[in-house]
A and B are shown apart, each in its own frame.
Chain A
Amino acid sequence: MVRNILRFPSDEWIKTFKEELNKNKTYQEVAKDWEGDFLFVITPDEDLKKETVFYIDLWHGKCRDAYLVKGEKQAKFVFKGPYSNWKKVIRKELDPIRGLIRGMFTVDGDSRVILDQAKAAQELVNIASTIPVVF
């Protein structure tokens, strides 16, 4: 099956991410205890000129909702970093936890909770990396 190449970041990308996540048995297993929604904030650098925000609602191994945010939105966690670092994560050149430790990402919310769910975080990255993408 030929999959569309999607631009990152975009609403199409995050919606595809939601679909892929909900098909993923590994994620469902490793994230079965996870409760908490995220804002993924992509700050401008390189070719990205404007801050872009994704909302993603993760609940016990499923994604209940995901979309490109227009306007204000609150979430339990805010994971933020520059576009160039998000690209590295999607290309699996940077592990998000290592990125957090090195200050390449910041998190609002208890980072320790994220650390305890590192396998789930890694699976999110694995899923993201399978979506054909153009930056």
Chain B
Amino acid sequence: MGQVVDCFYWDPTIRFEKELQLVSEDIGKGITLRKPVFTIDVLEKIIERIKTARKEYLRTHDIPAVLEVIDKVNSLWQDPSYTGRKLARDVLPTVTGFSVEMIETWGFDYFFDIIKKDNLPLAGKLQPNNFREFAPCGDGLVKAYGKPHVTHTNYEPEVIGHICAGNILGLAAFEMVMDKLVDAATWVKVPTEEPVFGALYAKSIEEVEPLLAHSIAILPFSSHDTLVQEYLFSQSDLVRATGGEQARRNLTPLAEKHHVPLAGHWHKFSFIVIAREFLQKQASEIAELASLDVCAWDQQGCFSPQEIYVETGGSVSPKEFAGLLAQEMERTTQAIPKGTNSGKMQVLDGYYQYFTKETMGEPVKIFASKEKQWLVIYDESNPNCEPSPLYRVIRVKPITDIMDIPQKVKPLSSFLQTVGIAIPQNRLLAFADAMGQAGATNLRTVSGMTLQKAWEPWDGRFPLQELFEHDSIHWVSIDSKDVDTEIQRALKRKRLIVKEEFSKKKK
């Protein structure tokens, strides 16, 4: 039987003068998505309503009350039998191309930790002078770089807009929650690639506290719809946008035109670094963890690794490590497969390109999955940073010393983001500092690259602070105070995921 899914949300009691036109899109497997055709009249009513709901709820309830609502909503989503989650499970694999295992396990069971009440950041702004060396923040460390130069302050934003990229599930939910911590009404443009989840999450808020939900509007529209974008920008105190270069080029002048501060999160380059100390007895374990970073979200995230740098001088050579990684890629892919039509061409292209190189005697070695679900390429031929074709295609490159990496990646400074690390504590801070100076923003223990913690900076800025103030401080975080403990924790998590997924498959 077919499913009809509405990709929009606002207070259902809003009455429009003319009947709202809806467009239906059949995306296959009996799923039809419905999206409205927006006019300015319709948007005016929606924006007016989110503003009044803000006054009625957010300005009259304390923060703990709001957090209680969020907690209850998240509890709904943690329950696999919740109707919203069941619908998401049915629909999202077709919509996104991710496997149901990715959505259920990595998405709902782990990624959503970021918006759990106990994990939300409550101190929105840190004083940079207290963090001129790496110092505790959350369960990790942060350091501030640069001099403060405030270009925007608004402690009482009335309306915040969000333009969400389509590569990662759950971003719309994160944005809705963050806005409520600063008492702002919210509109979210959901991505064309994944227009479903935002509306589902907003509806789940409505189930718990309708008036809070009415301060949110989920709006699916095309990025080519300039009339809609112009209007929404004109009504906003701030817009946060995620996307690639095209989005940056389109949205920056729009924000300037309407004098709206734009918190932009654009294309990024992330990678993994493995120090020789972890290539003794722990090499297989590190390969196990690295495979999860490569597989998570089919490597589509800005925080997903595009290359792995492996330090020479350990018991296990970088080439041997690549072999270990290949074994783990197979295991992890069996547990959390790629979506049915996800990225086959990327794997095949990489395979044939490097097969030719290997045949011609270049210093490369390919490790390929039989079903072409993933590809590990050991590559000594090109020491430069290279973007990956993604979709679980990863290059492993040798490096003589991890401290050579900051200089190597510096040409990509403005694109650097997450560094997955297996580096011993006694070398980590110096490396982190050098990477921070090179432009990276987050160092996360390997396997946790795609598990942003709510207290961490995002592209060098704290996500909560960004909603009310822009200064030019560049924050760099390390996700844990103790790498060894974090690696052990990560191994338990990874093995639990694999065990549970294999167990489900046996049933």
A72 to B318, CA, bound (A): 55
Of the residues A98, A102, A111, A115, contact of B67 by C-beta under 8 Å: A115
> Least Cβ distance of B179 to chain A in Å?
12
- Residue A63 at the chain B interface, CB threshold 8 Å: no
Contact with B along A77-115 (1 / 0, CB 8 A): 000000000000000000101101111101100011001
Q: Which of B9-17, B367-375, B398-406, B462-470 contacts A (4 or more CB under 8 A)?
A: B462-470
Residue of A nearest to B67 (CB): A115
Q: Chain B residues near A115 (CB, 8 Å)?
A: 63-64, 67, 122
A105 to chain B, nearest CB (A): 9
Cα A63 to Cα B125 in complex, Å, equals 30
Taking the complex as formed, is A68 at the interface, i.e. its CB lies under 8 A from any CB of chain B? no
A106 to B124, CA, bound (A): 9
Chain A residues positioned under 8 Å from B469 (CB to CB): 103
Task: Classify chain B's interface size.
Answer: 10 to 19
Q: Is B227 an interface residue (CB 8 A)?
A: no
- Would you call B183 an interface residue if the criterion is a C-beta within 8 Å of the partner chain's C-beta atoms? yes
B202 within 8 A of A: no
Q: A118, B183: Cβ atoms under 8 Å? A: no
- Minimum CB distance partner of A101 in chain B: B124
Chain B residues 89-134 with CB under 8 Å of chain A are: 118, 122-127
Contact B127 A101 (CB under 8 A): no
Residue with the greatest number of chain A CB neighbours at <10 A, chosen from B64, B126, B465: B64
> Complex Cα distance A122/B126, Å?
23
Say yes or no: A97 contacts B62, CB within 8 Å: yes
Interface status of B182 (Cβ within 8 A of chain A): yes
CB distance from A100 to the nearest CB of B (A): 6
Query: B231 at the A/B interface (Cβ < 8 Å)?
Result: no
Instruction: Give the docked Cα–Cα distance between A95 and B181 (Å).
Output: 13
Asked whether B502 is an interface residue with its Cβ less than 8 Å from the other chain, the reply is no
- Alpha-carbon separation in the docked complex, A8 to B125 (Å): 26
- Interface check B155, CB cutoff 8 A: yes
Residues of A whose CB lies within 8 Å of any CB of B are 95, 97-98, 100-104, 106-107, 111-112, 115-116, 118-119, 122
Enumerate 14 A-B pairs (CB-CB under 8 Å) in ascending A order: A95-B63, A98-B183, A100-B122, A101-B182, A102-B124, A102-B125, A102-B155, A106-B123, A111-B123, A115-B64, A115-B122, A118-B62, A118-B63, A122-B62
